[in-house]
């Protein structure tokens, strides 16, 4: 089957939305936690966290122009400068997914989704207690993507909260052992099975070295 640009434009809106979202493949499931200046906590699910660099440790995520939930996340990051990125485990995908509800500005998605806020000293944004891998992020830069009004929010890692036994030799993490969830499209959830850990490919490597 060959779908052209013209075919995409003519497609039903919801079908196109789901198809194009699915075509970005498997994505990480993360809850982003923030707080506003009145102390109202916000929690929202995102699947667009991307690695930008390791030194300094930088991550980006894409913020859509529309939607109440995402607007709260945006406003809170701009006003407090901090946010948390919490891994979603397969054990709480329903609660995580429920944070996509359009909450009122004085309502917390932590309460609505039955997830537990957790704090560390000297860091304003709430973490998710149910998550075992969580990052405390400091806002660095917002890059507007003029083509469609989205933007890339860039932050630097200030805190990593992680069980120490799960960091493997060389700094790797086993996402299967941690029961981490992945997302396809907007609402399909996957569990992960580790199938291979391949060596770094050198200039003189041969493909048979990987076997």
> Using CB under 8 A, which residues numbered 24 to 43 contact a copy of itself?
24-30
From the CB of 62, what's the least distance to a copy of itself, in Å? 6
Give whichever of 79 and 187 is closer to a copy of itself, judged by the CB atom: 187
Distances (CA, A) of 41 to 34, 73, 157, 177: 6, 10, 20, 30
The site that binds a copy of itself (CB under 8 A) totals a number of residues, namely 110
Give, for 182, the enclosing helix (H) or strand (E). strand 182-184
d(CA 11, CA 58) in angstroms, rounded, equals: 37
Which DSSP category does 47 fall into?
S
d(CA 105, CA 78) in angstroms, rounded, equals: 16
From the CB of 97, what's the least distance to a copy of itself, in Å? 5
Which listed range, 35-43, 70-78, 133-141, lies at the site for a copy of itself (CB under 8 A)? Answer: 133-141
From the CB of 38, what's the least distance to a copy of itself, in Å? 22
User: Under the criterion CB under 8 A, does residue 177 sit at the interface with a copy of itself?
Assistant: no
User: Under the criterion CB under 8 A, does residue 117 sit at the interface with a copy of itself?
Assistant: no
Which listed range, 32-40, 72-80, 172-180, lies at the site for a copy of itself (CB under 8 A)? Answer: 172-180
Q: Please, are residues 84 and 125 in contact by the beta-carbon 8 Å criterion? A: yes
**What b/e readout covers 137-155, taking b as 16+ CB neighbours within 10 angstroms?**
bebbeeeeeeeeebbbbbb
Strands (E), 36-175: 41-46, 50-54, 57-63, 82-87, 117-118, 127-128, 134-145, 150-161
Which position among 67, 117, 118, 185 is part of the footprint of a copy of itself (CB under 8 A)? 185
Task: Please list every residue from 51 through 110 that binds a copy of itself, using CB under 8 A.
Answer: 51-60, 62, 87, 90, 93-95, 97-98, 100-102
Which listed range, 17-25, 32-40, 74-82, lies at the site for a copy of itself (CB under 8 A)? Answer: 17-25
Which position among 37, 78, 105, 167 is part of the footprint of a copy of itself (CB under 8 A)? 167
d(CA 118, CA 84) in angstroms, rounded, equals: 11
Give whichever of 39 and 196 is closer to a copy of itself, judged by the CB atom: 196
d(CA 104, CA 5) in angstroms, rounded, equals: 38
Give whichever of 34 and 86 is closer to a copy of itself, judged by the CB atom: 86
User: Under the criterion CB under 8 A, does residue 1 sit at the interface with a copy of itself?
Assistant: yes
């Amino acid at each position: 089957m060959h779908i052209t640009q013209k075919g995409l434009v003519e497609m039903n809106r919801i079908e196109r939305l789901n198809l194009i979202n699915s075509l970005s493949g498997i994505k990480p499931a993360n809850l982003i936690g923030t707080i506003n200046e009145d102390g109202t906590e916000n929690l929202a699910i995102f699947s667009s966290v991307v690695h930008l660099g390791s030194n300094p440790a930088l991550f980006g995520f894409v913020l859509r122009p529309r939607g109440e939930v995402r607007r709260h996340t945006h406003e809170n990051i701009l006003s407090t400068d901090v946010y948390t990125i919490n891994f979603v485990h397969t054990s709480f995908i329903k609660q995580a997914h429920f944070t996509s509800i359009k909450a009122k500005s004085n309502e917390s998605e932590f309460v609505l989704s039955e997830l537990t806020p957790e704090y560390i000293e000297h860091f304003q944004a709430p973490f998710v207690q149910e998550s075992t891998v969580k990052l405390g992020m400091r806002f660095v830069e917002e890059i507007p993507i003029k083509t469609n009004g989205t933007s890339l929010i860039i932050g630097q890692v200030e805190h990593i909260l992680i069980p120490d036994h799960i960091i493997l030799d060389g700094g790797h993490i086993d996402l299967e052992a941690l029961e981490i969830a992945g997302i396809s499209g907007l609402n399909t959830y996957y569990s992960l099975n580790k199938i291979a850990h391949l060596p770094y490919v050198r200039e003189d490597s041969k493909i048979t070295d990987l076997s």
